[in-house]
Amino acid sequence: MRIDCLQYANWSEKIFRQMREGKVDAVQVTISYHEMFRETVQNFEQWNRWFEQFPDLIMKGEWASDIDRARETGRTAIFFGFQNPSPMEDDIGLVEILHTLGARFMQLTYNNQSLLATGCYEAEDPGITRMGRQVIKEMNRVGLVIDMSHSADRSTIEAADLSERPIAITHANPHAWSPALRNKKDDVIRAVTENGGMLGFSIYPHHLKDKSDCTLESFCGMIGDTGEKYGFEQLGIGTDLCQDQPDSVVEWMRVGRWSKEIDYGEGSAAAPGFPPMPDWFRDNRDFGNIEAGLKAVGMNDDEVQGIMGGNWYRFFDENFGPRS
Amino acid sequence: MRIDCLQYANWSEKIFRQMREGKVDAVQVTISYHEMFRETVQNFEQWNRWFEQFPDLIMKGEWASDIDRARETGRTAIFFGFQNPSPMEDDIGLVEILHTLGARFMQLTYNNQSLLATGCYEAEDPGITRMGRQVIKEMNRVGLVIDMSHSADRSTIEAADLSERPIAITHANPHAWSPALRNKKDDVIRAVTENGGMLGFSIYPHHLKDKSDCTLESFCGMIGDTGEKYGFEQLGIGTDLCQDQPDSVVEWMRVGRWSKEIDYGEGSAAAPGFPPMPDWFRDNRDFGNIEAGLKAVGMNDDEVQGIMGGNWYRFFDENFGPRS
């Protein structure tokens, strides 16, 4: 089973066909960065159109069982998530509405301070806010998973502790391997995984050791080390693949509507766009390379199958609905 | 001249007539607590209707010169403000749009953490956020005044320092006189007033010494002491009059849409509604009592006239448009 828990591509039939070529059974796609509720609904509408146009390639994913159905029918199940809580605006009642529409992951912050928690680019992090505590309870109730990939350390640890259900870091790597601001320190990964949460490994070059030149061996070796430390069952893939996106989209991700000045995030004025992907992972067709790489560094079959998708499948199965 | 820099009444012809009876030349009215952009536009629409219905009593206030026009024609000029940045949502471009529509004050927070700063009910206050810094610049540019009445201490001090134009605390009292969470400590009042900013004294009973039993002498004595300490020119009135509002409105102010649980704010489960106003200030007809009370504690005419409205007039005149 192959599950990628984070992609944000410039979607097209070409990419859907590449998913099938790479035998990808499920993908969590980001449908909102800074979009608010009404704009997010439009993004759901766009996906409904794609499901209608490409019924042989993709289908909407709501539950883990949809992945079984996708595998049986040779399709990829598309699950939805937000990288910012903007779609719920300031309205806790929208948590359940968005879940009903199909949202399954929501980041509490995207780089900046939100109404709920602190993003990794703020100077200080006072943890989960008063509203954040209420929203975590509500997300737990309906089965909308808390994702802290772009959050600051203390907020992430507090979210893992306050949440009564496991949370996720869908796309980041250990800071000790590659000290990017977005990568996660030991105590953060520990807090998330010891509460049953998941870490999805990112292939966004800014999160890789040696960036675009990172080797498959280094990447897979890092995964093996992380498994030894935190348990192989808590690990999966979240490539952060942003295929075919123009630079204008990078700018939207970074600046949204919060600043009139440009903010380069992990890039710079000299290199404002997306860096090139490493040669062993250009797009969805290359998941086989990762699987081979994991085997090559000595992982056993169960470990490899878990990381490639089995662990996310179990996590989806346990966390996408009300508590049983 | 009489200016009240904060009221949030359940508006009616009765109250507009009371304004005239109390010789109130201008009032800043709150038109949004948790309302977002579209809802705020509806509140502007409602006021346009009232201006059309009661042209002999009230008129829209946009500039200090409108107060002169109101005085010449025996009317009250109504200026608009927000107690939360909700109307600008996550969109810095809305700052100028809202100013064009008539907004002149915007609180960066209302009790809770916002996208811009920290509210006074949060456990910790990391100061102005990344977006907050951008928005302060934009508010300075267009002439939308920063109001920190419901903000936490550090955020208020940082806003006073970061802002290149004077800011305001439109409705609060010194904490040393009445140690309510919403009242302001010395260093906060100092930071605001030494940068040319204003403090408006509140008559909301939770902000008064002895609450509803506070005497006029105590209130006016406190104003005199504050004048000696920070300068009489930086002081005005912001009664926080919430006349004729049902308890459901108190609940909206406190809970908005951020929590499914009730939050009593400065009230309690036993006393969830508005406390009774002190007998010397029931409504707009009683501004004469305050004026007499200020004289009675020994202030000179200039000081009294400044506090009753002259200081707000000067502040409005200097801060409601682009910098000259």
% of residues, chain A, pLDDT over 70:
100
| A310 assigned to some structural domain | yes
CA nearest B138 in A: which residue? Answer: A260
Reported confidence tier of residue A270, pLDDT bands at 50, 70, 90 = confident
Instruction: Give me the pLDDT at residue B270, please.
Output: 83
| ipTM of the complex as predicted | 0.87
The verdict on residue A265 lying in a domain is yes
Distance between CA atoms of B173 and A170, rounded to whole angstroms?
47
Whether the CB-CB separation of B147 and B179 falls below 8 Å is answered with no
Using CA atoms of B139, B144, B145, B150 in order, give the dihedral in degrees to the nearest 10.
-80
| pLDDT at res. B269 | 83
Please indicate whether, in this complex, the C-beta atoms of A90 and B126 are within 8 angstroms of each other.
no
Query: How far does A255 lie from chain B, in Å, by closest CA?
Result: 10
Residues of chain B in contact with residue A123, where contact means CB-CB under 8 angstroms, are: 126-127
Q: pLDDT tens across A63-94, in order?
A: 999 999 999 999 999 999 999 999 999 999 99
| Contact at CB, A260 and B92, closer than 8 angstroms | yes
Joined tokens for residue B181: 């969470």
Instruction: Find the domain containing B60 and state its range.
Output: 3-319
Does A324 map to a domain?
A: no
- Chain B hits for A130, CB-CB cut-off 8 Å, are 112-113, 121-122, 258-259
Length of chain A: 324
CATH number at residue A209: 3.20.20.140
Measured between beta carbons, which residues in chain A are less than 8 angstroms from residue B134?
Answer: 258-261
Overall domain count for chain B: 1
Q: Compute the mean pLDDT over every residue in chain A, rounded to the nearest whole number.
A: 96
At CB < 8 Å, which residues of chain B contact A? 34, 36, 86, 89-93, 112-115, 118, 121-127, 129-132, 134, 138, 256-261
- Minimum distance, in Å, between the CA of residue A322 and any CA atom of chain B: 17
**Token pair in block for residue A242:** 């942003």
CA distance readout (Å), A185 to A168, A173, A204: 15, 9, 18
Q: Which of A258, A263, A264 to mutate to probe the B interface, most B CBs <10 Å? A: A258
- How much is the pLDDT for B114? 98
Nearest CA distance, B108 vs chain A (angstrom): 12
Max CA separation in chain B (angstroms) = 51
Residue A102 sits at φ, ψ, to 5 deg, of: 130, 0
Q: How far apart are CA B283 and CA A4, in angstroms?
A: 63
Quote the pLDDT of residue B28. Answer: 98
CB contact under 8 A, B126 and A127: no
Least confident of A23-32, A251-260, B80-89: A251-260
Asked if the Cβ–Cβ distance from A138 to B92 is below 8 Å, we say: no
In a domain, B324, yes or no: no
Q: Is the pLDDT of residue A324 over 80?
A: no
Each residue's pLDDT tens digit, A96-141: 999 999 999 999 999 999 999 999 999 999 999 999 999 999 999 9
CA-nearest residue of chain B to A255? B131
Task: Nearest chain B residue to A93 by CA: give it.
Answer: B257
Given an 8 Å threshold on Cβ–Cβ distance, is A259 in contact with B92? yes
Interface residues from chain A to B (CB-CB < 8 Å): 34, 36, 86, 89-93, 112-115, 118, 121-127, 129-131, 134, 138, 256-261
Spell out which residues of chain A touch residue B154, defining contact as CB-CB under 8 Å: none
Under an 8 A CB cutoff, do B131 and A113 touch?
A: yes
Contact across the interface for B138 and A260, Cβ inside 8 Å: yes
- Closest chain A residue to B111 measured between Cα atoms? A130
Interhelix angle A186-194/A153-162, nearest 10 degrees: 10
Is pLDDT of A25 > 80?
A: yes
Is B153 part of any domain? yes
Nearest CA in chain A to B261: A134
> 3-state class of A3 per DSSP?
strand
pLDDT score for B265 = 80
Domain assignment present for A148:
yes
Q: What is the mean pLDDT of residues A296-302?
A: 98
What are the residue ranges in chain B where pLDDT is below 70? none
Nearest CA in chain A to B112: A130
Token pair listed for A71: 């595998």
Q: Is residue A198 part of a domain?
A: yes
- pLDDT for A49: 96
Number of helices and strands in chain A (H, E): 12, 9
**Helix (H) or strand (E) run with residue A201 in it:** strand A198-201
Q: Check B124 against A123: CB less than 8 A apart.
A: no
Chain A hits for B261, CB-CB cut-off 8 Å, are 134
Is A88 inside any structural domain? yes
